[in-house]
């Protein structure tokens, strides 16, 4: 095996500085414009063969292969969750401070520390004279945190669909082989409003809901070996009437569904519909849908965000997974674990298009979305070499 650690070493400080600069750019969902501008210019300065910003605001950089190999996409999201009260942070949330052997700030672990690595990895191979056979694409996407929108839309369009994809969600330099899907089901129960003093004159949607809730509890959920059982939880109930003395016309119920690989959205909605249909009450109309909401990206594109992500799962014994694990273990000299992410990711959008996916990142899950958001410099250094090794392996596979 090539000495990828030695090849990566001259770039480590530059990559850490890039990560710090990324963190210093606030990039909340739908407001990633400064971040995108930085990333686009960075890719051009580094010498990518092609740099493109699509209509949604995703930034793609391509280093072309020498020919005949598999294409590999590196995916991180540019947006971050809200930082909350800055006073609760050890270091300023957008300071990108390097201290205690770590880089601190909102997005350090999710996913700006890894993004800096992904931006540099294809260029490092190219400069080392190790350009693989297949194309390497670095995809920095928008609106992952609120809707998975950037990845959902460009894969729906069929743009930048590669043979393999590596995702920069936190995995502690292990390999993530799955993520549960998520969607939000919206149940709208239509009744008939009336004054609460004469309830017999109306049709109370809460009466229907009282019958429905225990039936939802009895829904048979799917399961698989990787994730175990799907879960379904009622998380929000909204009445159409603001007052407390009115039988409402409508009650809207929100159901959070976390799915294993067998419970696709279509299957899950079918199970919920069956529970609705089993309620022995007449005079009500009930609508069921997956939650979409209006979303406008920083480029001005107006669309509908999806409250969720598709599931993704691959066996740890799948040949490309086993090969990636072996390459990393030879490089690092220690065991590389394979396990599923506990949260939803963009990977499902790509897997549903036939892309062979894996997660790989130096970040630690426990710091994501917290006021201790951080990424360890030593772990980043290992991950740079790991990314080079994985790109070398996957992008040199024959088509």
Q: Taking residues 219-228, report their average pLDDT.
A: 93
Q: Would you say residue 395 has pLDDT above 90?
A: yes
Q: Would you say residue 308 has pLDDT above 90?
A: no
Q: Taking residues 96-124, report their average pLDDT.
A: 98
pLDDT of residue 342: 87
b/e code 269-294 from CB counts within 10 Å (16+ = b): bebbeebbeebeeeebebebebbbee
pLDDT of residue 59: 99
Q: Would you say residue 399 has pLDDT above 90?
A: no
Question: For residue range 59-107, what is the model confidence (pLDDT) as tens digits?
Answer: 999 999 999 999 999 999 999 999 999 999 999 999 999 999 999 999 9
Q: Would you say residue 209 has pLDDT above 90?
A: yes
Q: What mean pLDDT value characterizes the chain?
A: 97
Q: Taking residues 122-145, report their average pLDDT.
A: 98
pLDDT of residue 9: 98
pLDDT more than 90, % of the chain: 96
Residue 60 to residue 51: CA distance in whole angstroms: 6
> Residue 134's CB: how many other CB atoms inside 10 A?
26
Tell me the pLDDT band of 1, cut-offs 50, 70 and 90: confident
**Pairing assessment for the beta strands 175-179 and 338-341 based on DSSP bridges:** parallel
Residue 297 to residue 382: CA distance in whole angstroms: 34
Q: Would you say residue 268 has pLDDT above 90?
A: yes
pLDDT of residue 46: 98
Q: Would you say residue 313 has pLDDT above 90?
A: yes
pLDDT of residue 160: 98
pLDDT of residue 71: 98
CB-based contact 284:205 (threshold 8 Å) = yes
Q: Taking residues 328-351, report their average pLDDT.
A: 96
pLDDT more than 70, % of the chain: 100
Residue 220 to residue 230: CA distance in whole angstroms: 9
Residue 232 to residue 336: CA distance in whole angstroms: 32
Q: What is the dihedral of CA 359, 110, 363, 40, to 10 degrees?
A: 80
Q: Taking residues 5-32, report their average pLDDT.
A: 98
Question: For residue range 148-185, what is the model confidence (pLDDT) as tens digits?
Answer: 999 999 999 999 999 999 999 999 999 999 999 999 99
């Amino acid at each position: 095996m090539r000495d990828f650690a030695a090849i990566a070493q001259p770039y480590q400080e530059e990559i850490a500085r890039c990560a710090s600069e990324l963190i210093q750019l606030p990039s909340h969902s739908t407001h990633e414009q400064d971040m995108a501008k930085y990333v686009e210019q960075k890719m051009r300065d580094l010498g990518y063969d092609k740099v493109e910003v699509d209509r949604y605001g995703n930034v793609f950089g391509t280093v072309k292969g020498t020919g005949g190999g598999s294409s590999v996409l590196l995916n991180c999201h540019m947006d971050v969750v809200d930082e909350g009260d800055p006073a609760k942070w050890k270091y300023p949330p957008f300071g990108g401070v390097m201290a205690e052997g770590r880089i601190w700030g909102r997005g350090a672990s999710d996913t700006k520390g890894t993004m800096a690595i992904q931006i540099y990895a294809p260029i490092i191979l190219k400069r080392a004279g190790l350009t693989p056979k297949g194309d390497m694409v670095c995809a920095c996407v928008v609106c992952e945190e609120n809707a998975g929108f950037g990845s959902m839309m460009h894969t729906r369009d069929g743009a930048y669909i590669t043979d393999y994809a590596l995702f920069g969600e936190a995995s502690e330099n292990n390999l993530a082989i799955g993520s549960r899907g998520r969607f939000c089901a919206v149940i709208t129960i239509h009744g008939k409003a009336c004054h609460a003093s004469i309830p017999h004159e109306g049709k109370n949607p809460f009466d229907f809901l009282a019958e429905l809730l225990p039936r939802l509890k009895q829904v048979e959920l799917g399961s698989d070996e990787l994730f175990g059982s799907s879960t379904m939880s009622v998380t929000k109930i909204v009445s159409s009437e603001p007052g407390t003395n009115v039988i409402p016309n409508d009650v809207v119920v929100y159901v959070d569904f976390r799915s294993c690989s067998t419970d696709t959205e279509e299957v899950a909605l079918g199970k919920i519909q069956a529970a609705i249909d089993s309620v022995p009450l007449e005079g009500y109309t009930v609508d069921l849908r997956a939650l979409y909401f209006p979303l406008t990206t920083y480029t001005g594109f107006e669309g509908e965000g999806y409250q969720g992500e598709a599931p993704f799962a691959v066996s740890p014994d799948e040949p490309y997974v086993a090969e990636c694990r072996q390459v990393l273990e030879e490089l690092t000299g220690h065991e590389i674990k394979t396990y599923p992410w506990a949260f939803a990711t963009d990977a499902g959008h790509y897997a549903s298009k036939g892309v062979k996916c894996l997660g790989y990142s130096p970040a630690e899950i426990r710091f994501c979305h917290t006021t201790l958001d951080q990424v360890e410099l030593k772990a980043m250094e290992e991950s740079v070499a790991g990314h080079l090794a994985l790109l070398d392996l996957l992008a040199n596979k024959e088509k």
